[in-house]
Homo-oligomer: A and B are copies of this chain.
Amino acid sequence: MTPGGRPLRVAVVGAGYWGPNLARNFASSVDWDLAAVCDLDLARAHRVADPLGGVRALSSLPDLLSSDVDAIAIATPARTHHPIAMAALLAGKHVLVEKPLADTVRSAREMVDAASMNSLVLMTDHTYCYTPAVSKIRDLIADGRLGDLLFIDSTRINLGLVQPDVDVFWDLAPHDLSILDFILPGGLHPDDVSAFGGDPLGTGRSCLGHLMMPLPNSVMAHVQVNWLSPTKIRQVVIGGSERTLVWDDLNPQQRLSVYDRGVDLGRDASGSGSRRVAAQVSYRLGDTWSPALPEREALADMVSEFAAAIRGRRPALTDGHAGLRVLSVLEAASRSLANAGRTERPEHMGLVEGRP
C-alpha cells in the first residue's frame, strides 16, 4: 500500500474455480479490502465470502456496481467477460479479467477502448507472468544478457482432460502466449501465425498441435501443446546470440539455466559464397548459470500490481493490450487451423500502447 493511502476496495465476480483464489489473495493483501463476492448462485458466493470474514455475498451485478468498490475482478466464463467488464467500466470501476480477456478480439478491443476512454485500469490476469521465473527471464532479456533473440520454443504437454468446449490451443496456449508477450520487449507481434492440430481420437477438436510464429528479425517462435502426452513437460527455450536460456518449470532444483554457449558468425568477412559460412562460424562453450529465484506467490504479486497500476495511474504490466495481443494470435491460429496451416496475419493491433 502506498504510504498514507487507504486500501482499495474490490469485489470478485464469479465464485467458481478461479474466483476463490483471487478472493483469498485480495483478502490477504495490504493493498486491498475485499468488499464482496458476487455470483449468480448466491450460495456459492457465500461459500467463498463467509470464511474470509466480513465479506459481503451477493448475486446482483447491478447492486455490486452501484456500491462503492473501486475495482472488480472477473472470474466468470470467457463469453461473459465482455458484458460484465463493459458494465463495470461504464460504472467507473477498474477491472481485472481472468484470461482470456474475452472470447473474441472484437469484444476485447471494445473493452480496451472503454477503459482507455474512461481512464480506468483494465488488467488481464496472466498469472504466470508474475512468477519469479518469468520475471527473471524478462529481466535477462531486457538487460541484453541473451543478446539478440534467435529462436523460442515453448512446450506444454501433459496427459490432460479433453475439454468439451475449447481445443488444446485455446486451453493451453494462452499460458505460453501470455508469457511470450510478457518477456518480449514490446510484446508479442508475430508476422503471421500457422497452426497445425491433430485430433487422432476423433473428438471434434484438436487435442495436440503446434503454432509457428515468425517474429521480427527472423526469430522463429514455436509453441507445442498436447493433451495426450504421457510425460509432462513445461519448458521454454530462448536462444540468443549471447546466451541461451532454458526454463524447466518442473525442475524445482534448477528451474532456469542460462548457457553461455552459442554460434558466432563473422560479420565483416570479405569472402563470399557458401564456403564463407563454415569458415567464419565459431563456437562458444562457456559456463552454465542457474540464477536463484525467490519464493513468492504469483497471485499475490499480481493483485499488488493491480493496485499499483490504479494508484500510479498507469497501465498494468499485463494490461488490456496484452490480453488483446494474446487473443489476436489465438484467433489467427484458429483461422489457420481451419485452412490447413495457411499462414494468417493476426488482426492489426495498432500502436503498442500502454507498455510500461
- On A, residues with C-beta under 8 Å from B are 148-151, 153, 159, 161-165, 192, 194, 196-205, 207-210, 212, 214, 217-220, 222, 224, 226-232, 237, 239, 241, 244, 246, 253-254, 259-263, 265, 274-278, 281, 283, 285-292, 340-343
Given the interface contacts A194-B194, A198-B219, A210-B212, does A286 sit within 8 Å of B278 by beta carbon?
Answer: no
Contact A277 B164 (CB under 8 A): yes
CA distance A123 to B69 in the complex (A): 54
List residues of chain B with CB within 8 A of the CB of A200.
148-151, 217-220, 239, 241
Number of copies of this kind of chain in the complex = 4
List residues of chain B with CB within 8 A of the CB of A246.
230-231
Given the interface contacts A212-B341, A253-B232, does A202 sit within 8 Å of B218 by beta carbon?
Answer: yes
Contact A201 B283 (CB under 8 A): no
Looking at chain A's contact residues, the main secondary structure is: strand
List residues of chain B with CB within 8 A of the CB of A199.
218
Contact B288 A289 (CB under 8 A): yes
12 extra interface residue pairs, beta carbon distance < 8 Å, beyond A161-B278, A161-B281, A164-B276:
A151-B200, A162-B263, A162-B277, A162-B278, A164-B274, A164-B278, A201-B263, A228-B239, A228-B244, A229-B244, A286-B292, A287-B289
Query: A151 touches which one: B163, B198, B291 (CB < 8 A)?
Result: B198
Distance between A243 CB and nearest chain B CB, rounded to angstroms: 8
Distance between A339 CB and nearest chain B CB, rounded to angstroms: 10
CA distance A246 to B109 in the complex (A): 43
Residue ID in chain B nearest A204 by CB atoms:
B277
CA distance A209 to B274 in the complex (A): 20
List residues of chain B with CB within 8 A of the CB of A286.
292
